[in-house]
Amino acid sequence: MTDPNSPPASLSQQVKIPESISGLEPVRSVRSPIRLVYDFVPSPPVQEYLRSYSKKKILGHRSPIDGAVFVPPRGVDPRHGVLIEESVELSDRGHVGNFCVTHLPIPGRDDLDTPYVSAWIHLDGASVGFLGLVAGCENDEVHIGMRVQAVWKKEEELGNTAENILFWKPTGEPAVPIEKAGNRAWDQTNE
């Protein structure tokens, strides 16, 4: 077996260093952050979805095949390869399908104190979840199936963005049983 710590002899031939820099410490790496700024142009369904947030409404798309409701709407049912044209207005209430208690700060969200709860929110009437912040209770009180409702920004601060919802807070309603929480709900109703 070759020694993992010594590179193969034929690969470790010394590079000849010019005399003018021979006394200097070799540069092994240069840290050079790169950035790519681009304009995002949402598709028409996503535009409609983002604009509806300014009216404190959440839009979904209903599949013509089996009635599944997707949020955010993307204009297609990817399972069947069909276009979706029917929008539905969804409740701003739902349940926690699943969640993570995150102890790491994330870039661009200096406003979040760790640990915080990121959760898959399954809105009433929706067939898939999306991510949201759960607050308004202790982190260890959050559980799968917990009923939650959106806490919106003040009217004057509303924009065309999902960030209009500051966080999701517990409603105190009875929890959704774990076997019907999150994506499990779809299996239950359609089989």
Partner 1 sequence: MSAELTAVLGVGQTKYSSTRGDVSIAGLCREAAYRALEDACLDWKEIDAVVIGKAPDFFEGVMMPELYLAEALGAVGKPILRVHTAGSVGGSTALVAASLIQSRVHEKVLTIGFEKQSESNATWALSLPQPFSVSINAGAGGYFSPIIRQYMSRSGAPELIGCMVAFKDRQHALKNPYAHLHQNDLTFEEVVDSPMLWNPIRYSETCPSSDGACAMVLGNEASGDRAENPVAWVHGTAMRSESNNFPGRDEVNPLASRQCAADVFRQAGITNPLKEIDAVEIYVPFSWYEPMWLESLGFAELDQGWRMVEDGTTSLLGGELPVNCSGGVLSSNPIGASGMIRFAEAALQVRGMAGDHQVDGAKKSFGHAYGGGAQYFAMWIVGAEKP
Q: Provide the binding-site residues for partner 1, judged by CB under 8 A.
A: 1-5, 7-8, 10-11, 28-29, 34, 40, 42, 46, 49-50, 68, 72, 78-79, 97-104, 106-109, 112, 115-116, 118-120, 127-133, 144, 162-163, 165, 178, 182-184, 186-187, 190
Q: How far is the CB of 172 from partner 1 (least distance, A)?
A: 22
Nearer to partner 1, 127 or 170 (CB): 127
Residue 116, helix vs strand vs coil = strand
d(CA 10, CA 21): 25
d(CA 24, CA 145): 62
Q: How far is the CB of 74 from partner 1 (least distance, A)?
A: 9
Taken as a whole, the chain contains a residue count of 191
Q: How far is the CB of 54 from partner 1 (least distance, A)?
A: 14
Q: Are 71 and 59 in contact (CB under 8 A)?
A: yes
Nearer to partner 1, 58 or 170 (CB): 58
E-strand spans in the chain? 58-62, 69-70, 76-77, 82-83, 86-90, 93-102, 116-123, 130-134, 147-152, 165-170
Angle at 137 between CA 119 and CA 186, to 5 degrees: 35
Nearer to partner 1, 120 or 149 (CB): 120
Nearer to partner 1, 11 or 24 (CB): 11
Nearer to partner 1, 127 or 149 (CB): 127
